[in-house]
Structure formats: structure tokens, C-alpha cells
Amino acid sequence: MLTRNDDIRHQIWLTVSELDEEQLNRKPAPEQWSVMQVLRHLNLMERIIVKQAELALQKEQNMTVDKKPYELSLDRSRSVDAPPHLQPPVEPESLADVRRDLEQSHQALTDFAQNNDSSLLRSKSFPHPVFGEMDLAQWVDFASYHEERHLGQIKDIKQQLGF
């Protein structure tokens, strides 16, 4: 389950590796995110997934949910605004800080998935704003699709800025 997550994260780091901090913080347009803001958003998303998953584990109720089509999140022709708690800050950030935070949130997601039995992860859930109730195993897998979606966004930003 985590191999895909690790592969996508590796692709993200390769895609941004040749950019300096100024380039990472540059926006293609005022209403668009910079690459650094996309990276921060990924960090915020991983943190909230782990937080909500840990809360879901504490609930007594077990639930079986159908597999959700979260692979559809790769379709970037449809846009969903990130809720306020997943919006990155507007001020520029350092790559060292964002990278450290991304490594910590990715490790937390990895630890969560590895330290809990897959049957337990499939028996607990919390809702996704678009796909509805998803079990925790689906949430761990969804994280990779979410990051792959934003990998495409990062590539678009680079192209728009001529990098």
C-alpha cells in the first residue's frame, strides 16, 4: 500500500530538485499557488489524514464502507478548492522547513499504516468531502493519488513559469 505513496513522493522531489527557493516560491499568477505552496498543502493534507485516522481508531463503532473512486482525483479538469485548514500560507517559505515538515508528515502516515493491522484500518472510517465515507486503508492509498494530482499541478506551474 505504501509503495505507491513513496514512489509519488520521490517523483515530486525529482520534479522540484532543480528549482531554487525563489523559483519554488514564485506564483504563475496571483490567484495560483506556487510550487512551495503546493508542497505545504501536501504536508497539511498528510497531517490531517493522520490526525483524523487516529481519531477514527478511537471510536468504538466499526464500519464497512464500499471502495470509493478516489482515483478520479487524478482528473485535473475538475477543481475542488482546498478547505481553509488545508490552504498553504501566502508568505514565502524555506525549502528546508517545508521539506522537513513533509518528511515528518510522510513518516507519520507510513508509521500509522504500518503500525495498524489492515483489517482494523478497513473497519474504521471518516468522511472525504467529495467521495464520502472512506475507510482508513483507503485514506492511506488516497494520499498517493492526491499527491499525484498535485505532481501534475507542480509540472504545470513549472511550465507556466518557464522552468
pLDDT digit string, tens, across residues 22-43: 999 999 999 999 999 999 999 9
* Axis-axis angle for helices 35-58, 2-16 (nearest 10): 160
CA distances (Å), 124 to each of 60, 75, 115, 143, in order? 9, 27, 15, 17
pLDDT tens sequence across 37-60: 999 999 999 999 999 999 999 988
Rounded mean pLDDT, 92-115: 97
Distance (Å, rounded) from C-alpha 144 to C-alpha 136?
13
Q: What is the pLDDT of residue 1?
A: 64
Model confidence pLDDT, tens digit, residues 110-159: 999 999 999 999 999 999 999 999 999 999 999 999 999 999 999 999 99
> What is the pLDDT, as a whole number, of residue 29?
96
**Residue 79: predicted pLDDT:** 85
Tell me the fold of 1-10+30-159. Answer: Four Helix Bundle (Hemerythrin (Met), subunit A) (1.20.120)
Q: Any idea where the domains of the chain sit in the sequence?
A: 1-10+30-159
The band of 80, judged by pLDDT with boundaries at 50, 70 and 90, is: confident
pLDDT band at 89 (very low <50, low <70, confident <90, very high): very high
